[in-house]
Amino acid sequence: MVGDSLCWMQSATNWPETGSEVIALQDSGTWNQVLRVLSLSDYNTRVVILGTAALGVACGLIGSFMLLRKRSLMADTISHATLPGIAFSFMLMVAFGGSGKWLPGLLLGAALSGLLGMGLVLIISRFTRIKEDAALGIVLSVFFGLGVALLGLVQKMSKGSAAGLESFIYGKTASMLTSDALLIGAVAALSVLTVLLLFKEFCLLCFDQDFAAAQGFPVGKLDVLLMTMVVLVTVIGLQAVGLILVIALLIIPPAAARFWTEKLTTMALIASVFGGVGGALGAALSAVVPKLPAGAVIVLTNSLFFALSLVFGSTRGVLVRFLEQRKLSRKVGRQHLMRALFECLEKDGLQSVSFEGLLDHRSWSASELHRLLHQAERAGLISQGVEGIRLSAEGELQAARIVRNHRLWELFLINYADIAPSHVDRGADRVEHVLDPKTVHRLEELLDEEQKAASAISSPHPLGRIRKADA
């Protein structure tokens, strides 16, 4: 990817400006213009923003399948493989007397060359012993190298002005004409429609290719069709974000969407929304702020969505996982405390227990116990006074239930798993926290009627911390 950054630097210096229909707002900065863009009152701006949004939606949707098929990098190879097609179609158009800048012609060349690259990857990995990752790398670098060389030749041609061709490398919404935006929107709509029609088939292809084939689905053709969709959105994305960054539109929104859901339809929907909003925002920003390349802004907007999803995602986000973990460890800590209190009181037949007595009952540190006691007191489960620690009425109820679950499980282990009474405490310690009412009911059924009737079961082993001397 060294070539990428080189090209970037080269091109960034000679940013081309073209045509009068261009909607780059060179002298903007005034609030008027900002408002004009944001309110979509300007027809051209509106079309360009909507076109880019359509591109984002299509990329998010198709990218979802690529991500699940673990083919995301295929898109990177395809986008790089479009470059020689662009240069070659330009040369061809100039040779036939055109200016060479006719966008549909350039995009057609890009699409054909992208398809060729994709076909080569599939052929290489299928018919030779070279694995897919190597095939992707080979095709990417060879095609991109060829493209860069051809662009060099194009610059030296006497006829036709090649200025602006490099904008396909890094993208430039600003140079987008209304007709270009309409083309982008139309192709995006077409590919979205195709994917929606074949949603079920693509889902099966991505999840279980062999099973799909065994049911008679032509997986080879479906695969090529899905890749063709990638070629299409890549090609229309060339102008907006450029061939280096278009991969981001296909990977980042679906990856961000995955943090919010465990359902494919929802994931595809969220990815499309992220892609669409990211696309629109990027295009709008680059229209407001002169010389701000839309491609980079779109990618950055999407990255922001990704970062937010990573942290706040409702099913897989880091924060949710952290909170769940903390909630669980709090619950476990409290249940340990309640059981220890119950056992201490039961052992000595008293109404309260001293801090030291409790500290001695289990292997926990003084600070840890203080914290647990504090939390339990706040929850109204215990009270701490001069005479010691007492269970409240609610606390007693909870403690009795926790102890009962613990002992039910211990009895189950002793009776059904042949574990020695002296060892069951440790095993039950972990399991008791996950016993749901259904499991408890099943345990009750398994164990004696007598024990079932008892509101509290006596412990099957001596209570308290096992000391070294005991062991």
Residue ranges binding other proteins (CB under 8 A): 68, 70, 129, 197-198, 200-201, 203-204, 206-208, 210-217, 258, 261-264, 266-267
Closest approach, Cβ 205 to other proteins, in A, equals 10
Contact 390, 352 (CB under 8 A): yes
From the list 209, 236, 251, the residue with the least C-alpha distance to 60 is 251
How far is the C-alpha of 123 from the C-alpha of 380, rounded, in Å? 69
Closest approach, Cβ 87 to other proteins, in A, equals 37
Closer residue to other proteins (CB): 35 or 189: 189
Closest approach, Cβ 147 to other proteins, in A, equals 33
Closer residue to other proteins (CB): 8 or 199: 199
Q: How many CA atoms lie within 13 A of 387 on its CB side?
A: 7
Spell out the residues 6+ positions from residue 152 whose beta carbon is closer than 8 angstroms to its own.
Answer: none
Closer residue to other proteins (CB): 324 or 356: 324
Closer residue to other proteins (CB): 208 or 356: 208
Closest approach, Cβ 75 to other proteins, in A, equals 19
Closest approach, Cβ 223 to other proteins, in A, equals 14
Closer residue to other proteins (CB): 139 or 271: 271
From the list 136, 141, 147, the residue with the least C-alpha distance to 238 is 147
Closer residue to other proteins (CB): 436 or 450: 436
Closer residue to other proteins (CB): 40 or 203: 203
Closest approach, Cβ 355 to other proteins, in A, equals 41
Closer residue to other proteins (CB): 243 or 443: 443
Closest approach, Cβ 203 to other proteins, in A, equals 8
Closest approach, Cβ 329 to other proteins, in A, equals 20
**Environment class of 275 (CB within 10 Å of its CB; exposed 0-12, middle 13-18, buried 19+):** buried
Closer residue to other proteins (CB): 211 or 416: 211
Closest approach, Cβ 208 to other proteins, in A, equals 5
Closer residue to other proteins (CB): 273 or 289: 273
Closest approach, Cβ 68 to other proteins, in A, equals 6
